[in-house]
Amino acid sequence: MATFVLVPGGWKGAWAYEAVIPLLEAAGHSVHALTLTGLRPQDDIATVATANLDTHADDVLRHLDRAHLTGVTLVGHSYGGMVISAVADRAAGRISRLVHLDAYVPQDGESCWSATNDYFRGVFEAGAASTGYSVQPPGTKDPRRRPHPLAAFVQTIRLTGAAAQIPRREFVYCSGWEDQTPFAPLRARLQADPEWQVHDLPTRHDAMNEAPEAVAALLLGEAATER
């Protein structure tokens, strides 16, 4: 039995994985989907304003401790790739597999802001204009999305290289939104790195809802690897 810890992307909570969770559980695995600090409905202004990338990494690390989890498959979608990178650097011995699901794979000193493209920097700027500390979700596709702490998008990550000890590291590239994706250069970089497995999905960014069966199959190890 595998243990999956699922970290959502920007503006989202544990519900982002709601279509995938039952598929993993039906296969007999343990699944922990998290909602990060500042993204919970009960979080007040001060909580949102002070939450940053370190806060979110600490959320995941605390959950690993409280649930006594080891041998974890740690999955991060989009911004969640920043979070799982920070977690992996601090808890590499407890993580057996790292999956960046159309997600950032930062290098030391990068932030979500520096690693993304001009389109999303514009989204962050426009979304933060009203408060200066939180970024309103773009569009109106899901009313459950919440303002995202701005500090989490702009804080730089500090990495020691410890995540290189994790035996299995994977990147999933969603190819169905090439007009906006910030991940094409990242895909090219990781394809050239023999320590990474790179998968392609022909979906837009929200693969978990657009193709939950394909995402679950990939997480369950049933999908072919694309190099």
Active-site amino acid positions: 78
- The strand pairing partners of 141, in sequence order, are none
Contacts of 216 (CB under 8 A, 6+ apart): 20, 23, 24, 27
Beta strand pairing status for 95-101 and 3-7?
A: unpaired
- Positive or negative, the CA dihedral 173, 86, 116, 188 is negative
170 vs 188: CA distance, rounded Å: 13
Distances (CA, A) of 106 to 26, 45, 88, 216: 33, 28, 12, 24
Residue that the structure tokens 């979500």 belong to: 112
37 vs 169: CA distance, rounded Å: 26
Closest CA to 145 of 163, 123, 162, 166: 123
118 vs 106: CA distance, rounded Å: 17
Strand order in the sheet with 30-33: 30-33, 3-7, 72-77, 95-101, 168-174, 197-201
